[in-house]
Amino acid sequence: MLYLSIIVSKRIRRRWRLRAESSRLPMQDVLMVDDSAETSQKIISADGSKLFVLIAEDEPLIQANLEDVVAEAGFEHFSVSNADDAIRALEEDSARFCALITDVRMPGEADGWDLARRARELQPLMPVIYMTGDSAKEWAAQGVPNSVLLQKPFVHAQLVTALTTLLNGAATSSIGQ
């Protein structure tokens, strides 16, 4: 059996147990709620500083939802509504950010592809998560290496899993450098 445990709010821990049945039966999803997780902690770096995720999303409701998911996962966030503002924030202090979550299509001169390329110029190991409703086919040509693309709509667990997986990969890549 495969177990996945994620803290999704300050008070609820959800576990999904996936059990493969015979080839004639579909896979079952069983949701179990454990109320023992009373508090969520902020995730901090090895030097004790808070980890900020840069969020670039032009739709206010989606942006607010992303902020909630990132905060509930234990990260601080800095949100902007277009790639141009995100590029400015990165150029002012790229070391402040541990990851980038960006929509692909946004108003302004730059788009999410341009934003991610600039982020990687400033921080070569920065984790990048793209979100799109219609541009997934362009990811292979436009996306930066070792990034993740989430097709909208997606569930919160996909975003948290992508973020933590990329952060762990970046931390492993930087060992010994």
CATH classification at residue 126: 3.40.50.2300
Q: How many residues does the chain have?
A: 177
Are residue 67 and residue 132 in the same domain, yes or no? yes
Encode 89-128: b = buried (16+ Cβ within 10 Å), e = exposed.
bbeeebeebbbbbbbbebebebbbbbbbebbbeebeebbb
Does the pLDDT of residue 37 top 70, yes or no?
Answer: no
Q: Which pLDDT score is estimated for 117?
A: 98
pLDDT in tens, 79-89: 999 999 999 99
Domain that residue 87 falls in: 52-174
Q: Rounded mean pLDDT of the chain?
A: 79
Question: Tokens standing for 136?
Answer: 């997934």
Q: Which pLDDT score is estimated for 28?
A: 35
pLDDT in tens, 141-174: 999 999 999 999 999 999 999 999 999 988 887 6
Residue 63 belongs to a domain:
yes
Does the pLDDT of residue 132 top 70, yes or no?
Answer: yes
Residue 41 belongs to a domain:
no
Q: Which pLDDT score is estimated for 176?
A: 52
Amino acid making up residue 61: L
Are residue 25 and residue 60 in the same domain, yes or no? no
Summarize the confidence of residues 86-97 as an average pLDDT: 97
Q: Which residues pair with 102 in a beta bridge?
A: 56, 130
Distance of CA 92 to the CA centre of its chain: 22
Rounded CA gap, 61 and 43, in Å? 25
Nearest Cα to Cα of residue 58 among 141, 146, 152:
152
Residue 157 belongs to a domain:
yes
Summarize the confidence of residues 19-31 as an average pLDDT: 33
pLDDT in tens, 40-79: 445 555 555 677 999 999 999 999 999 999 999 999 999 9
Looking at 38-104, which runs of residues are DSSP E strands? 52-56, 76-80, 97-103
Summarize the confidence of residues 24-29 as an average pLDDT: 35
Q: Which pLDDT score is estimated for 173?
A: 75
Residue 45 belongs to a domain:
no
Residue 40 belongs to a domain:
no
Nearest Cα to Cα of residue 66 among 7, 122, 142, 129:
129
Q: Which pLDDT score is estimated for 40?
A: 40
3-state secondary structure of 12: coil
Amino acid making up residue 122: L
Are residue 59 and residue 30 in the same domain, yes or no? no
Residue 111 contacts residue 105 (beta carbons within 8 Å):
yes
Are residue 159 and residue 76 in the same domain, yes or no? yes
